[in-house]
Amino acid sequence: MNDERKQVALVEDDRLLRDQLIKILGDTDDVEVCIAVASGEEALEKISASAPDVILLDINLPGKSGIDCIRALKKSCPGAEVIMLTAYEEEDNIFNALREGASGYLLKTSTPEELFDAIRDVHTGGAPFSSHIARKVTQYFRQDREISEENESLSPREREVLRLLSSGYIYKEVADQLDITIETVRTYVKRICVKLHVRSKVEAILKFRR
C-alpha cells in the first residue's frame, strides 16, 4: 500500500454505483478506497478501523441516513473529512449536512476529475461543492444577510413586539406585557410587515426567526 495515497471510505447502498466509484477512484495514483460499505449502520461499525482521510457519504441510505451518520463518523474518525455524494440538491439536505459537520457536497453527476479534485481539496482544508450546490449556498447566505438587514431596520419596540409574538403571545398578552393597547400592537405589526416586506404576522415571525 502506498502511504502517500489518500485513504477514502465509501458509503453507498447502490451496488453498481459503489463498484463504479471504486473503479474510478482506483484509476489514480494518489487516492485509494480503503473500505466500501452499503449502509449507515455498517459505516458506523466498520469505518473507524480503516482510519480514512476522506469519507464519501451518500445521503439516501437504508436505515440511518447519511446526514444522521455524519456527527458519529466525525467523532469516531476525527482525522477524516466528510464529503456528501448525492443525487439531491434540496437546501434542507445541503445545510443539514453542513451543520452536522460535512466539509463538502458533490452531486453524483460529478465527473471523475471533479471527484478527484474534491478529495484532494478537502484533504488540504478546502470545502468542495458542485457548482449548482455552491450557487445555492451563495444565494442562501445572500438572502440571510438581506433578512438580517431588514430585521435591523426594526425599532427596539418593534423587535420586542415581534419577539413576543414569535414566542406565542397573542395581541392582548403583548399589549399587557408592554403596557400598550391592542390597537397599538396592531399598528406595530403593520409597520413590521412593511419593513420586512411581508404580508402577514406569520410571515414576519418566520422571517424574524431565521
**What are 33-49's pLDDT values in tens digits?**
999 999 999 999 999 99
6-134 folds as Rossmann fold (3.40.50)
- Write the CB contacts of 152 (distance below 8 Å, at least 6 apart in sequence): none
Kindly report the CATH number that applies to the domain delimited by 146-209: 1.10.10.10
Sorted by where each begins, the domain ranges of the chain are: 6-134, 146-209
Looking at this protein, which amino acid is placed at residue 40? G
Q: How far is CA 135 from the centre of its chain?
A: 14
Q: How many CA atoms lie within 13 A of 140 on its CB side?
A: 12
The pLDDT of residue 204 is 82
Long-range contacts of 96-101 (CB under 8 A, 24+ apart): 96/67, 97/59, 97/66, 97/67, 97/70, 100/67, 100/70, 100/71, 101/70, 101/71, 101/74
pLDDT digits (tens, 9 = 90+) for 102-143: 998 998 988 999 999 999 989 888 888 887 777 766 666 555
pLDDT of res. 130:
80
pLDDT band of 207, cuts 50, 70, 90? confident
Percentage of residues in the chain with pLDDT exceeding 70? 90
What DSSP character marks residue 142? H
- Quick check: pTM over 0.85? no
